Amino acid sequence: MLGNVGSGGDAEGNDRGTGDEPFRKRVGPPRPIAPATLVYGRGMLGADDVLDPPPRRVLVAGTAGVGKTTVAGRIARAIGAPHTEIDGLYHGPGWTVRPTFVQEVDAFTSAPAWVTEWQYRSVRALLVDRADTLVWLDLPKPVAFWRLLRRTVRRRLQRTELWNGNVEPPLWTFVTRREHILRWGIATRNETRRRVPALADSAPHLRIVRLRSQREAERFVDRLQAGTEYNRRRPPP
């Protein structure tokens, strides 16, 4: 089951009735679809659409806490590509920005296959230029906020070490710091919802897959895995 939080997330389930229940089903070989099929809006695909050719350079987008890193890891395993957690390249000790961040992103995205999260202004355009597919986790606002809140509280109470020795700040800093992750997640949700659809025009080479629930995320990853296994078993032409 896909985790319900972002980087470092767990695999807890959701309350019934959220539209976000874990979903598993047996899937067979992918069914072909017409290349012009559009789902959920112009230029966007959905969980049941086959990506042909299969994705090799994948971005996972979404607001803070929706599960980008967990889903990115699952996609990487499904397609046999390395997953680089971009937060780990960005954050240095004391929440400073690592000076080699842009160079390291440039290096790993020069490879023929990779998966990472679509974040950080300084590399966002580079990532889009080099990716062939973007997976957008566009979960309902209450679900996204609950996941972020639960993750933040758990990390703080458990003093979970994140990247390069960093830990979540005290919970009361939600009131005093505008950059607190909870306030950041609330403030940037609409930015993500504007930024991703705009790529249909600005990055026509990029396939965008919009997933609006945990159920769709599960189904999409299952289909990727099934397609990879099918292609491995298929005899060469």
Average pLDDT over residues 109-138: 97
What does the pLDDT read at residue 42? 55
What does the pLDDT read at residue 192? 86
CA dist 2 and 45 (Å) reads 20
Average pLDDT over residues 181-210: 84
Confirm if 208 and 44 have CB atoms less than 8 A apart: yes
pTM of this prediction? Answer: 0.73
With a CB cutoff of 8 Å and minimum separation 6, the contacts of 133 are 51, 55, 57, 58, 59, 206, 207, 208, 209
Residue of higher predicted confidence among 123 and 179? 123
3-state secondary structure of 97: strand
Average pLDDT over residues 96-116: 97
